[in-house]
Amino acid sequence: MSDAPHTPVPPAAKPAWFAVGMALLVTAVVTVLSYALPAAEQASGVGLAFLLATYLLVLRRDNATVRRYGLSLGGLFESEPLSLRRVAGAAAGAFAWAFGVALLVFPAFWFGWVAWWKPESGFVPAPPHGVWEDSLGQLLVIALPEEAFYRGYLQSALDDAWPKRIRVLGADLGPSLLVTSALFALGHLATHVDANRLAVFFPALLFGWLRARTGGIGASVLLHALANLFSAYLARSYGFS
């Protein structure tokens, strides 16, 4: 859900190696969990690990810090009393950004998906009920924890360490976008060793751009969930599952 723009870097920003080290540590933990937990509990365990790491690194701190890391979500993760107007406004903004970007990029995403996976059968639309059944899990168990850690904590912490930016389509971007996206892709590879998993680097660039453009993670959470659901729908429609 969209929040206030990213505020200037505080003087006490930690060095980049600390944020990268935290990302590697969390990646190691979630990798162990992904192999050690029963299949039915893997996604929940990994999601909880990401949320716990984000809590320890950011969410337990003051409201100004939570907002600076883009993790306010309209006040949901702040200690102040909730304002329904603020939550609704942030949610509306996040939905507008996420669905607007999805409408623009999903046709190209579809083309790229077919080129990457090379399905042997033609497209036969899958029943939509599978998308609805998976939507809440994709949003709360996968997209929210991953975006909170990678785009909320990691990208913001690296922005603090590397303040130099260039403006791209209204977003101020720096090396943090590439490093965060690369670590995001490597994390996916570690939890399931398959080179195809590295392809998530490309949508991660878009999630990171949204985080920088909107000042919060809400839009990237929604777009992340939508992209996962759309990928799963394409897989079903092309006979992969």
Span 98-112, pLDDT tens digits: 999 999 999 999 998
Q: Is residue 1 scored above 80 in pLDDT?
A: no
Give the CB-side neighbour count of residue 172, counting CA atoms within 13 A. Answer: 12
Q: What is the structure's pLDDT at 7?
A: 46
**Which whole number is the average pLDDT over 115-127?**
90
Span 176-225, pLDDT tens digits: 999 999 999 999 999 988 888 898 999 999 999 999 999 999 999 999 99
Confidence of residue 36 (pLDDT cuts 50, 70, 90): very high
**Which whole number is the average pLDDT over 124-135?**
87
Contact 102, 91 (CB under 8 A): no
Q: What is the structure's pLDDT at 238?
A: 94
Q: Is residue 9 scored above 70 in pLDDT?
A: no
**Which whole number is the average pLDDT over 53-75?**
96
Rounded to two decimals, the pTM is 0.91
Q: What is the structure's pLDDT at 11?
A: 47
Domain limits, the chain: 16-237
In DSSP notation, 62-122 reads: -HHHHHHTT--GGGTTSSSPP-HHHHHHHHHHHHHHHHHHHHHHHHHHHHHHHHHH--SSP
Confidence of residue 114 (pLDDT cuts 50, 70, 90): very high
Between 133 and 9, residue with greater pLDDT: 133
